[in-house]
Structure 1
Amino acid sequence: MTIANEAVDVARAASLEGLEGIAHGFLGRRGGVSEGEVAGLNVGYGSGDDHAKIDANRARVVEAVLPGGRLVTLYQVHSADCVTLSDPVWSDAERPHADALVTNRPGVLLGILTADCAPVLFADHEAGVVGAAHAGWKGAFAGVTESTVQAMEALGARRERIAAAIGPCIARRSYEVDEAFFRRFLEQDEGNAVFFGAGRECHHQFDLESYVAARLAASGLRRIEALGLDTYSAPERYFSYRRATHRKEANYGRQISVIGLT
């Protein structure tokens, strides 16, 4: 698999009104220096990869999206917690335990790591406020996107102006869940049945992307774009925790989605 020598792969929500002029991108695994099972642009310190290679990959991310900017990430824990970035900017060793972050500071690149979960990037161009959320099923179910919108509003954003883009994540055709998972969502709202398709006996196929999009719309957002990119079925382009598990691989990489103000 030739990944390390390729150009950095950046997908953008270019057609979404509200993100024009905002530095952002959903990056995959192409264009990095990591090798082996995490070959490519692996940015996850928890992957067991060489930290020097991860640092080099993170530098490539910044150069591709916001040259001269400072990348800021979290210690993600599948929560609904959102933090606001102000002064001082924390170091990698001091990363808060949370799953979303917002800022109105220029020159800072907010980063969310994923390997099947849904990354969501937010922007209110008029207010000069951006946000990023890690929306796995647990965080989305608990309200991480709602927490992000509320934190942006505290900085002066207005939800009717906020644009949100959902990046590469595991697609319904690739995401089998059991009956208990299905019932948990129905207990929250019987209308959630629409996000599940038929699977093998006592199993269902879950549409994480559509569920996240519906949560955003229910929060009052009017401009939402889902990129429709499946991490599981594109091994040359994206890391996938579930794919690595099914292949019995010892490790898996993490890709990153970023947004910042110039």
Structure 2
Amino acid sequence: MHLASVDEARERLDAASRIVVLTGAGISTAAGIPDFRGPQGLWTQDPDAELVSTLSYYLEDEDVRRTAWQRRLAQATDHHQPTDAHRALVALEHQGRLSGVVTQNTDGLHLDAGHSPAVVHEIHGSARTCRCERCGHRQPMAQVLARVGAGEADPHCQQPEGRGTCDGILRATVVLFGEMLDPHVLQACVDAVERCDLLVAIGSTLAVNPAAALVPFAIGNGARVVIVNNAETEHDDLAHDVLRGDIQDLVPRLVR
């Protein structure tokens, strides 16, 4: 592991022409979105909160769904905005050197920052849309949250079906524990990393596969790796440069 200066890491960035950025929850905490596994993370502070992100519990337990909807409603009223780090990464796309953004986050802030949708690969899905588990109908999350705000604790699908409605369980289009990733999105992530000459991992503990596995995969395909995080990660020993500190300070300085 090489604990690098910003100047050293920037030299590596400047020499790259096909950059892929891998982001985790740490890039969004400054926007007011808590992470999961950090010292103040949702699951660290409340281990039971992980049940909301487990498919079997969500489908089988109405109380879990009610809790999930109330949390989504509370988060929706916070009006989170992209951070300085999100906005800084858009500069790489404008320079024509960004091959892809692989994000473990479901908050949509990379798109809000100005990235082209074709560049952003949301490997864990998006919290901005909602899907019926029964009929598969999708709709904006805001439409369902309006129903929750009006008093529906556990809204179900209202798509017409026969003489009634579907009435299937609604859930965010995020990947929950116990289900597979979207194979098309996963393949797009693999393709981008396979072709890159530099992978920059930002704000991730690199503890969750398959996203974390993209680091050794990139190295195996000849790419260099820079890790930017405020704490140790699982793959610091593999990185060519490690920047440790405030992500909102380091990333804009790195890609200026």
Q: Which TM-score applies when normalising by structure 2? A: 0.28
Whose strand proportion is higher, 1 or 2? 1
Structure with bigger gyration radius: 2
Whose helix proportion is higher, 1 or 2? 2
